[in-house]
Amino acid sequence: MSLSPSHRNRVAGGALALLLLTGLGVAVAGTVDGSATVPYPDGGRGRVVVDDGALPWPKGGQSAVALEGSGPVGTRGDGRPVPIASLTKVMTAHVILEEHPLKPGESGPMIEVDRQAAYEVGVGGESTVPLQAGRRYSQRQLLEMLLIPSGNNVARLLARWDSGTQEAFAEKMQRTAGGLGMKDSTYTGASGIEVTTTSTAADQLALARKAMKNAVFREIVGTRSVTVPGVGTITNTNPLLDTPGVVGIKTGSSTPAGGNLLWACEVRVGGATRLLVGAVMHQRADTTPSEGLREAVDSSRRLIAGLRDSLTREG
């Protein structure tokens, strides 16, 4: 695609980074008064117009949004790799489900809790699930404990179950990221506790779009709470699920990472329901995890509302 100098400057400034994403096979129709225009879902007549200039993009960090069936809507931020905290678990779950597929309603194999996973319950400064050594849980149950309350010890247990060691599993995560075109992502562990696990909003958006195509993953990340034998009721860490239309997907927060949120929301476009997927990252980094996550959630809520108002169909 050939862009004029003035248009290139707008893209470089972050106004419509989607124009650079032709590698995704999206034919961008141009701009209308500062609006992003992408093909109408499923090749129907007309186009989806997003008033990019009117969107309440987060002021800090970085963000990326895509409309399924159409393609990228836009990005904001400098796009440099930053720590992603528990967003890492989206890749952990994705790799597990790729290696050990489950159908809706299936529980999968039973997996024994090892001493390491039980010991890690008492380690401070981490989000863990109270597991007892020797107890067995199904693959589905462990994925629920991974994604709903964000259990770090569960992430590492699944990594050892799949690959023998967490290090070997992290190598598999990295290869998977490469296969998804996530060229700015580095995975060094299964839980996200390591600050060396870094990514960008654009890369995490690509992963989220892929992961949400898996029905089991989608069911789990949209679950508000579930009761697990021997553990009790576990509650989703994602408060955005209280927003109408939101169907997932995952929070992640720490002091160096700030607040991070991958989200998916069903919206009405041209009389059809479409999935809007977004990544809001590195919000209020170097404060507290709770402050960062609150900002990520609030920013995502505002962005979703703005996108709902901006998405229209032109004939």
Give the count of beta carbons closer than 10 Å to the beta carbon of residue 87: 26
Q: Decide if 121 contacts 93 (C-beta within 8 A).
A: no
Q: Name the percent of the chain in helix, strand, coil, to the closest 5.
A: 40, 25, 35
Is 213 annotated in a binding site? The answer is no
State the catalytic residues.
Answer: 86, 89, 150
User: Helices 88-99 and 201-211 sit at what angle, rounded to 10 degrees?
Assistant: 40
- Chain centroid to CA 81: 15
Q: Decide if 38 contacts 67 (C-beta within 8 A).
A: yes
- Which tokens belong to 213? 């195509």
Q: Residue 134 burial by CB count (10 A; 0-12/13-18/19+): exposed, middle or buried?
A: exposed
CA atoms within 13 A of residue 244's CA, in its CB half-sphere: 4
Main-chain dihedrals φ then ψ at residue 205, nearest 5 degrees: -65, -40
State the Cα–Cα distance between residues 162 and 231, nearest whole angstrom.
Answer: 23
Going by the annotation, the residues of the binding site are 250
Going by the annotation, the residues of the binding site for substrate are 250
